[in-house]
Amino acid sequence: MTTLFLVLLALLPFSSSSYPSMLPCSRSLTSGTSIMSNLAQDSTARSVSFSRLGSTIACGGTYNPGETLTLSLSNTANKYIFEVSGATVASGGSCSATRTTSSGASVTMPSSGTVTAKAGWSTNNKIVQITPTCTLTAAPPTSSPTASPVTPTAGPTEAPSKSPTLQPTRSPLPDGVTLSPSKAPSSAPTAGPTEAPAAPQPPGDDNLPGGAAARA
């Protein structure tokens, strides 16, 4: 009897909606959706995350346009499925490369816009739990540094050299003339006037030979 019961159980039809990994593309992975004959519900027991070269990117952070990131689930026990929006699963995805059942899947980021990811998971065919949504936004483009115009620097201006002030050259003093030590003359001393020699007297009668004697 026990053997017959096990055989009949094995022949029962398998419901494709028993696992979140077999969720049809037409059915949304959101809280309130009927999955496994139960309404899915939100849960914070597990979380999804993106990482870049092994370093986790905090949800709410940024991605570099066009880069490939790794999508992971904090706990991969039992059955689960990821769903991304705004990006595409690089390989092994389904539903137009928006869903994957592989933790550690590569996801290609778009050139701009917002990217979201979440996962649905269940244990022992129970109610499907929906993780919180992880959101990333595109990092702003890095502008190339603009070289500032180089302003030519004027060479140092040399201060004009002061020309030495030439001292007036004094005329040589005549022989026998000395300057007073207290005050030097402002100009060369003026020589005293020279008396003109007396004009020769015209010869008189007294000077004539034999003049006086002749008059006598």
Give the lowest-confidence range in 96-100, 116-120, 124-128. 124-128
Cβ atoms of 32 and 71 within 8 Å: the answer is: no
pTM of the complete model: 0.58
Q: Which amino acid is at 116?
A: T
- Closest of 14, 13, 5, 18 to residue 122, by C-alpha: 18
Q: Which two tokens stand for residue 27?
A: 């059915």
Q: CA angle, corner 123, sides to 118 and 128, nearest 5? A: 45
Per-residue pLDDT reduced to its tens digit, 162-192: 666 666 666 666 666 665 655 555 555 555 5
More confident residue, 111 or 191: 111
pLDDT, the chain, mean: 77
Torsion angle of C-alpha atoms 173, 174, 180, 181, degrees rounded to 10: 40
Per-residue pLDDT reduced to its tens digit, 58-73: 999 999 999 999 999 9
Give the lowest-confidence range in 12-21, 37-46, 100-109, 170-179. 12-21
Report the distance separating Cα 21 and Cα 45, nearest Å: 18
E strand or H helix at 46: none
Report the distance separating Cα 70 and Cα 90, nearest Å: 10
Report the distance separating Cα 210 and Cα 75, nearest Å: 172
Report the distance separating Cα 97 and Cα 85, nearest Å: 10
CA-based radius of gyration for the chain: 61
